[in-house]
């Protein structure tokens, strides 16, 4: 996930980025808090990573980390099981009257670049099954064309990865250059309904029983 944000040109620092991507950061921190408390039940090492320069395009931070961990895996003789990108998950397009029901969130486990295709449907299936059990939200599964979020850097090094987040984020009137991405725009019940299966899924990846 990323911790940088942007805002209206010339007034970038006035945009707090409460949703994009501090809701993703909140889910990552809560995942860390819970997994640390159950570290003895995990069967894999879990790394919590937040990268910079996602919003500027080019995924410089994510690609730098992907390069580092790829070489570390080669040098250390370990396998990277999967990567999960916690994206913005707090703005509810349905409650804001922007999208029709039923209420959903987005899940991307496949995609493409100009020269490659990536398909980690099985990883997405695992997430979707957990969401069906632990969330009232419908899962809207799509494929993502282009390098639009940090998971893409892991796809490029051959690591199964997915990204999830709020439904219809590009119609969010407080998105990126529009500004106004403040905490009062967050639907906390919606955020919780996304966070619950996301955290459960990541615990399952680490080998912890659901």
What is the value of pTM for the model shown?
A: 0.95
CA 158/CA 153 separation, integer angstroms: 9
* pLDDT, position 170: 92
Domain of 68? 12-205
pLDDT reported for residue 151? 98
Confirm whether 7 is domain-assigned. Answer: no
Q: Determine, yes or no, domain membership for 101.
A: yes
The mean pLDDT value of the chain amounts to: 96
Q: Residue 49: its pLDDT value, please?
A: 97
- Reply yes or no on whether the pLDDT at 194 is more than 80: yes
What is the structure's pLDDT at 209? 65
Paired sense of beta strands 104-112 and 161-166, if any: antiparallel
Q: In whole angstroms, how large is the CA radius of gyration of the chain? A: 17
Please state whether the peptide bond connecting residue 78 to the residue before it is cis, i.e. omega within 30 degrees of 0.
Answer: no
Q: Is residue 80 part of a domain?
A: yes
Q: Is residue 200 part of a domain?
A: yes
Condensed to tens digits (0 to 9), the pLDDT of residues 10-44 reads 999 899 999 999 999 999 999 999 999 999 999 99
How many domains does the chain fold into? 1
User: pLDDT per residue over 80-127, tens digit each?
Assistant: 999 999 999 999 999 999 999 899 999 999 999 999 999 999 999 999
End-to-end CA distance of the chain, in Å? 24
The verdict on residue 166 lying in a domain is: yes
Residue 2, domain member (yes or no): no
Contact 65, 142 (CB under 8 A): no
Q: Does some domain include residue 45?
A: yes
pLDDT for the residue numbered 208: 87
Q: Encode pLDDT of 118-153 as tens digits.
A: 999 999 999 999 999 999 999 999 999 999 999 999
Strand, helix or coil for residue 160: coil
The whole-number pLDDT of residue 210 equals 54
The pLDDT of residue 126 is 98
Query: Residue 192's domain is classified under what CATH number?
Result: 3.40.630.10
Q: Residue 77 falls within a domain, yes or no?
A: yes
């Amino acid at each position: 996930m990323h911790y940088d944000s942007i805002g209206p040109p010339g007034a970038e620092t006035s945009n707090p980025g409460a949703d994009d991507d501090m809701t993703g950061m909140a889910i990552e921190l809560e995942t860390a808090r819970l997994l640390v408390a159950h570290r003895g039940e995990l069967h894999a090492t879990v790394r919590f990573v937040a990268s910079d320069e996602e919003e500027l395009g080019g995924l410089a931070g994510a690609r730098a980390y992907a390069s580092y961990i790829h070489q570390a895996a080669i040098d250390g003789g370990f396998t990277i099981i999967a990567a999960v990108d916690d994206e913005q998950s707090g703005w509810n397009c349905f409650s804001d009257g922007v999208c029709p029901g039923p209420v959903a969130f987005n899940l991307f486990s496949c995609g493409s670049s100009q020269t490659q295709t990536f398909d980690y449907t099985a990883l997405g299936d695992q997430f979707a099954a957990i969401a069906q059990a632990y969330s009232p939200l419908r899962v809207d599964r799509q494929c993502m064309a282009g390098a639009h979020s940090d998971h893409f850097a892991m796809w490029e090094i051959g690591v199964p990865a997915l990204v999830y987040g709020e439904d219809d984020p590009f119609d969010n009137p407080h998105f990126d250059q529009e500004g106004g991405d403040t905490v009062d725009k967050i639907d906390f019940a919606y955020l919780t309904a996304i966070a619950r299966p996301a955290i459960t899924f990541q615990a399952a990846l680490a080998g912890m029983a659901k």
